Structure 1
Amino acid sequence: MFKHILVPLDGSPRAEQALPFAAQLARVYRSTIVLARIVDIFETIGASSIQAAALTNEIREIQEKDAQEYLQRICSSGPLEKLETSMEIHSGDVATTLLDIINKQSIDLVLLTSHGHTGQKHWTLGSVAQKMVHHCPVPVFNQRENYLFPPAAPTQDLTFCIALDGSLLAEASIPPTLYLAAAFAEPQHREIHLLRVVKTLDIDRVEAFLKIHKLNIQKFLYDEARNYLKELSESLNKDTAAQLGVQVTWSVSMGRDIAQTIIREVEGETSLQSSPIAYSLLALATHGRSAIARWAAGSVAERIFHTTGLPLLVIHPPAQNS
């Protein structure tokens, strides 16, 4: 699945924290790792200086030479040594340039760290990650500098959580997550947990629906979610998940705020730094199906991106009629 992996780097150690992840995937799936370094001239000289315009080409050449030397060092040492790599060095707007690379190089996965170098002469990788979540046509793995994946200390069991809303669009997050699980743990120790959150309705609405339609709408939605996940997990455990040696489990939770409930379920009630948690990664799609009994996945994904401390796999599925 992951034949071409893009790792944008801004020269900071934080951004380089994505490299062990890329290296492991490349070894398992024989992938090519594409390292990208984007030079933003205007961050160096400013856009309004008349004198700077004459220096633009000279500064670009210097920065691009530095970028090439930097990427060559990354390729020839550390976790990427002896792996197939290529380099992309460009100047311009970082997010726009990365999206162009993704399309031209047939990238399958983008690996980012949520906080990059914040110095004046470096682009902020966090803001780039946010733009990728909104616009990237392929899965984006957002590494967290304080909760790295894969963890420094090896773990025997690995569990990823996928947040679903019952739509086919949201299910686009399942295949890449299964393949990630297969790459980072031994068979029989790989688990994907499907989570669906049912919104808690106001009691007045539930009672009114019961009075008019003779149906407990809250129970109906809860049962519908359970049946959906049960059938989906059984299908995956007989097919794709079984082939990859991954066990699929599931659960349904209820809450008034979908994003907060998802975060509580995957992180627990305590800080990530003070207590180990059950999940190593959270995956979800950026757009789901908007109808009754469906949560607005776009806004949920964005809120989770800004809130969770877990590594996050975000999939932006192609638009479909629903």
Structure 2
Amino acid sequence: MFKRILVPLDGSPRAERALPLAKRIARATRGSIVLVYVVDPVSDLWAVEQAPLVEMRLREAEMYLNSLLSPAPTGEEAEITEPPIPAETLLLRGSAAASILNAASETQADGIVMCSHGQNAASHWRIGGVAAKVVRHAKVPVLMLKEEGGVPAGPHPDATEPLRVLVPLDGSAPARTALTSAASLLADLAPQTPAQLHLLHVIPANVQLLENEGRRRELVQKAGEYLQSMAKKLKESLVEPSLSPKNFMVTWSVILDNDVANAIVRVAEQGDTQDGLGSMPRCDGIAMATHGLSGIRRWAMGSVTERVLHGTRLPLLITRPAWVEEHAEEEETEEET
């Protein structure tokens, strides 16, 4: 999936947690990585007359990026035995989120791997905001890691367990765009070992309030049939013909919950068995689509993905449907009026 991977860095160990995973994917796809560092004078409260300090920060950032591309010390055998990965650095000055998005476009990256928090604890609000903006507006899939969560840099450490990714589906075409990205990521991270896609449908709690128990069972059954059909298409390579899902297990489950985003996080992190169909062990990551809407309309649609992003400790692969770009200008016009 990712042949050219953009990795935004800010000099912190937390941001660098994205590097092993980006390298793993690049090796699997025979791709390359682009390390980008953005110096943001306005955000860092540097005044115009402090231009020399900005220039010094740029030089320090350049040295930092170059150090990451230097050969590993002799004692680090694991790094020495791995083949080199084509890599380049990009040093930018300006708004962090806008610069990252522009860099992805200019370098023709087909994926972004980054950690949601960086620098220090006092600035988490700002870095987290950068991550949210990148996720909301990126035209390529974004694999977002959390500083307090795990990093699936390869097959599951337990050889008997598959590397497992949860894909929530609500029956819409935008939600299904996450399937191809999720399947491709699993193929890259666990090409010769067990891997599993688990499809999840959450029925909102208002359905539970229906007095007609038969109607409730009917809705659950229909949701199960939908997920079954999607699982069959994945296995038959009908969702993405270029993939070979023979190496994958595809499972599914349906649950009922009054909070869709919270249910997705809970099931992914803890596993779940509820009144519904199927059961779900814990996962190593989540893959979702974002609708890319803004303002009030985002609360109705894209807010679920954003709430999962802020609520989970697991890596989250976020794909923005292509049709969003076609309607972006129209949405902005509607909001202005």
State how far apart, in whole Å, the 2-side matches of 1:201 and 1:230 are: 24
State whether residues 115 and 144 of structure 1, in contact with CA within 8 Å, keep that contact through their aligned partners in structure 2.
Answer: yes
Using a 3 Å threshold, how does the CA distance of structure 1 residues 120 and 228 change in structure 2: closer, same or farther?
closer
**In the alignment, which residue of structure 1 is the partner of 2:11?**
11
Q: Deviations over 1:279-309 (max 9, x none)?
A: 10011111299xxxxx954111111111111
How far is the alpha carbon of 1:219 from its aligned partner? 2.9
**In the alignment, which residue of structure 2 is the partner of 1:303?**
307
User: How do residues 175-186 of structure 1 correspond to structure 2 at under 5 angstroms?
Assistant: 175-186=180-191
Q: What is the TM-score of this pair, normalised by structure 2?
A: 0.79
State whether residues 3 and 32 of structure 1, in contact with CA within 8 Å, keep that contact through their aligned partners in structure 2.
Answer: yes
Q: Percent identity?
A: 34
Say which of 185, 196, 204 aligns to 1:199.
Answer: 204
State whether residues 24 and 153 of structure 2, in contact with CA within 8 Å, keep that contact through their aligned partners in structure 1.
Answer: no
How far is the alpha carbon of 1:203 from its aligned partner? 5.9
State how far apart, in whole Å, the 1-side matches of 2:32 and 2:223 are: 39
How far is the alpha carbon of 1:197 from its aligned partner? 0.7
State whether residues 3 and 30 of structure 1, in contact with CA within 8 Å, keep that contact through their aligned partners in structure 2.
Answer: yes
**In the alignment, which residue of structure 2 is the partner of 1:223?**
221
User: How do residues 36-185 of structure 1 correspond to structure 2 at under 5 angstroms?
Assistant: 36-46=36-46, 52-56=47-51, 58-78=52-72, 82-118=84-120, 124-150=126-152, 154-156=157-159, 157-185=162-190
SS at match of 1:261: helix
How far is the alpha carbon of 1:314 from its aligned partner? 1.3
How far is the alpha carbon of 1:313 from its aligned partner? 1.1
State how far apart, in whole Å, the 2-side matches of 1:262 and 1:119 are: 27
Using a 3 Å threshold, how does the CA distance of structure 1 residues 301 and 76 change in structure 2: closer, same or farther?
same
Q: Deviations over 1:85-126 (max 9, x none)?
A: 111111010001111111112211111112201278999432
Range with greater deviation from structure 2 (26-35 or 103-112) = 103-112
Q: Deviations over 1:47-75 (max 9, x none)?
A: xxxxx42432x333222221111111111
Residue type matched to 1:55 in 2? Q
**In the alignment, which residue of structure 2 is the partner of 1:23?**
23
Unaligned runs of 5+ in 1: 47-51, 271-276, 290-294
State whether residues 111 and 141 of structure 2, in contact with CA within 8 Å, keep that contact through their aligned partners in structure 1.
Answer: yes
Count of equivalent residues: 298
Q: What is the TM-score of this pair, normalised by structure 1?
A: 0.83
Using a 3 Å threshold, how does the CA distance of structure 1 residues 123 and 252 change in structure 2: closer, same or farther?
closer
SS at match of 1:225: helix
- Extract structure 1 runs of 4+ deviating beyond 4 A: 78-81, 119-124
Unaligned runs of 5+ in 2: 73-78, 273-280, 294-298, 328-337
State how far apart, in whole Å, the 2-side matches of 1:65 and 1:4 are: 25
State whether residues 188 and 247 of structure 1, in contact with CA within 8 Å, keep that contact through their aligned partners in structure 2.
Answer: no
SS at match of 2:104: helix
State how far apart, in whole Å, the 1-side matches of 2:86 and 2:244 are: 29
Using a 3 Å threshold, how does the CA distance of structure 1 residues 159 and 91 change in structure 2: closer, same or farther?
same
Say which of 279, 284, 287 aligns to 1:283.
Answer: 287
Residue type matched to 1:166 in 2? G
SS at match of 1:162: strand
Using a 3 Å threshold, how does the CA distance of structure 1 residues 23 and 139 change in structure 2: closer, same or farther?
same
Residue type matched to 1:68 in 2? E
SS at match of 1:42: coil
Using a 3 Å threshold, how does the CA distance of structure 1 residues 226 and 251 change in structure 2: closer, same or farther?
same
Residue type matched to 2:106 in 1? K
SS at match of 2:164: strand
State how far apart, in whole Å, the 2-side matches of 1:43 and 1:226 are: 48
State how far apart, in whole Å, the 2-side matches of 1:119 and 1:309 are: 17
